[in-house]
Amino acid sequence: MAQNDTVKLIGSWSSPYALRARVALHLKSVKYEYLDEPDVLNSKSELLLKSNPIYKKVPVLIHGDVSICESLNIVQYVDEAWSSGPSILPSHPYERANARFWALFVDDKIFESLDAVGGAKDDEGRMAAAGKLMECLATLEEAFQKSSKGLGFFGGENIGFLDIACGTILGPVSVIEAFSGVKFLREETTPGLIQWAEKFRAHEAVKPYMPTVEEFIAFAKKKFGVE
């Protein structure tokens, strides 16, 4: 794949999914033009609609004359299209499949639970959703302990595919914690994830692109009209 092709990324500063693409591009030292959709919930650019006509969502990676949609697809594409930088996906077939499995768990189960907590209509529904979210995070803690093998990241010593996938939950979890007053990442239940989260946020491929907790909370308050 020619590496001199024009590379553009359509994203939004508040999108945890766009963060995945930016981290992958940084790890691979890919130079690209970043096109921010500042109000992607209410207004979408013509380029975004043209590049992702099916889902009309960010992120979208434009490499030359092709567009790649959906954040995990983009991360895998970046890993395979550029040989520069470290490998993002594991080299062993089982480990690759396992990383993809847990990435889908994050997108399907954890985000479903986050949405349920945020969208609960009453205290009973909120408590039930919160319990489910805690169960999911406890399950992810077990996966971290197995995958990290005592090291700092899901990928071991270095940040990898599953770290990038799981990093998307940190902003939403912090917002839910702030609004609900409930701590979901706790030392007694998710000690590994707490340490991993600190390392992930501080990583040089993540820190420039990840909004602060305060920025996430301010965005959520504006989005939902909360004072």
Tokens of 39: 């109000």
Which of 82, 107, 137 represents a domain boundary (last residue)?
82
pTM for this prediction: 0.93
Asked if the model's pLDDT at residue 144 lies above 90, the reply is yes
Same domain, 104 and 175: yes
**What's the pLDDT tens digit per position in 153-209?**
998 999 999 999 999 999 999 999 988 888 999 999 999 999 999 999 999 999 999
Residues spanned by the domain of 60: 7-82
Per the structure, the count of domains in the chain is: 2
Same domain, 103 and 146: yes
Same domain, 47 and 97: no
Give the pLDDT of residue 220: 81
Mean pLDDT (whole number) for 56-80 = 97
Which of 75, 99, 79, 78 has the alpha carbon at shortest distance from 16? 75
Residue at token pair 């406890």: 138
Inside any domain, residue 119: yes
CB-hemisphere CA count at 13 Å for 77?
A: 19
**Mean pLDDT, all residues of the chain:** 93
Inside any domain, residue 153: yes
Asked if the model's pLDDT at residue 227 lies above 80, the reply is no
Asked if the model's pLDDT at residue 3 lies above 80, the reply is no
- For residue 60, list its beta bridge partners: 10, 69
Which of 33, 57, 82 represents a domain boundary (last residue)?
82
Domain CATH code at residue 151? 1.20.1050.10
Which of 36, 58, 82 represents a domain boundary (last residue)?
82
Reduced 3-state DSSP string for the chain: CCCCCCEEEEECCCCHHHHHHHHHHHHCCCCCEEEECCCCCCCCCHHHHHHCCCCCCCCEEEECCEEEECHHHHHHHHHHHCCCCCCCCCCCHHHHHHHHHHHHHHHHHHHHHHHHHHHCCCHHHHHHHHHHHHHHHHHHHHHHHHHHCCCCECCECCCCHHHHHHHHHHHHHHHHHHHHCCCCCCCCCCHHHHHHHHHHHHCCCCCCCCCCHHHHHHHHHHHHCCC
Domain CATH code at residue 16? 3.40.30.10
37-41, 211-215, 221-225, range with greatest mean pLDDT: 211-215
Inside any domain, residue 76: yes
Inside any domain, residue 88: no
